[in-house]
Amino acid sequence: MANFRVHVLGAAIPSALAAGLAIAGGLVTPQVGGVCFGLGVLGGMLPDIDADNSVPTRIIFGALAVVAAVVVASALHVDTAPGLVALAAVAAFVAIRVGLRGFTAWLCVHRGLVHSLPFAALVGAIVVCVAAQAFHLGPTQAWLAGLFLTGGFLVHLALDELFSVDLLGARMKRSFGTALKLGSRRQLLGTVMLYAGVIALVRFAPPVDPLVRDVTSKRTRAAIAATLARLR
Ligand SMILES: [Zn+2]
């Protein structure tokens, strides 16, 4: 199993490169690009939230709870009484800090469902929906934000698999094959719920076509080439 520092670096380097390209290509504003980078790094830490009391677990749930409180408050503040906004923000904080953490602890044996491909898709899909609904980002930026989180998550799973191969002895450790998987036979119900959640969120998310069009467009490539030329 790869350690915490390997996971943070392993996610940070490709995230920084990808965010730089996305900004250079004009796909995201610099602010959103920065958030995308942060999401990529977060994705690299996120899978180990199933290791009950690890440092990343405490950091991540604390941070997620704060983010949830801010999202709820900024979504409500326009036409809700300040007292209610504060109450809703506190409720969101507690729901994440206590509720979600308890739920994941129940859901996951370490290296259970959380270390799986559908979970990687689920967290990304949640970000796409939140970015579009709560922060009113356009489809391209919203999808990119979700892809960064899923991408960091996938890097983590790949690193876990890599480190479960004993490089010197060239033999597999017992943990091989426990990180990159499509689900868990021992947690069938949870696996089905995961896939259902991903499908529901993707249907609720904005269309993905604008992202595909923007990423493959000549204008994006030209903008990236122009930025690179200026750097030289
Ligand atoms: Zn892991």
Domain ranges of the chain: 4-51+111-231, 53-109
Question: For position 32, what pLDDT does the model report?
Answer: 93
68: burial class by Cβ within 10 Å (0-12, 13-18, 19+)?
buried
What is the structure's pLDDT at 169? 47
CA of 7 to the centre of ligand 1 (A): 8
Minimal CA–CA distance to 30: which of 41, 20, 18, 42? 20
Q: How far is the CA of 176 from the centre of ligand 1 (A)?
A: 12
**Span from the CA of 53 to the centroid of ligand 1 (angstroms):** 14
Cα 161 to Cα 111: distance, rounded to the nearest angstrom:
11
The mean-pLDDT minimum among 32-41, 72-81, 116-125 falls in: 72-81
What residues form DSSP beta bridges with 171?
166
**What tokens appear for 83 in the block?**
């007292």
Give the per-residue pLDDT at 98: 79
* Radius of gyration from C-alpha coordinates of the chain: 19
Q: How confident is the model at residue 111 (pLDDT cuts 50, 70, 90)?
A: low
Question: Would you say residue 133 has pLDDT above 50?
Answer: yes
Distance between CA atoms of residues 68 and 102, nearest Å? 16
The residue-averaged pLDDT of 53-81 equals 79
The pLDDT score that the predictor gives to residue 211 is 94
For residue 9, report the distance from its CA to the centre of ligand 1, in Å. 14
Q: How far is the CA of 44 from the centre of ligand 1 (A)?
A: 9
E strand spans, the chain: 165-166, 171-172
Question: What per-residue confidence (pLDDT) applies to 167?
Answer: 47
Read off the pLDDT of each residue in 9-13 and give the average, rounded to a whole number: 94
| Model pLDDT, residue 27 | 93
In the structure encoding, which two tokens stand for residue 42, read together?
């977060």
111 CA from centroid of ligand 1 (Å): 7
Q: What is the CA(226)–ligand 1 centre distance, in A? A: 39
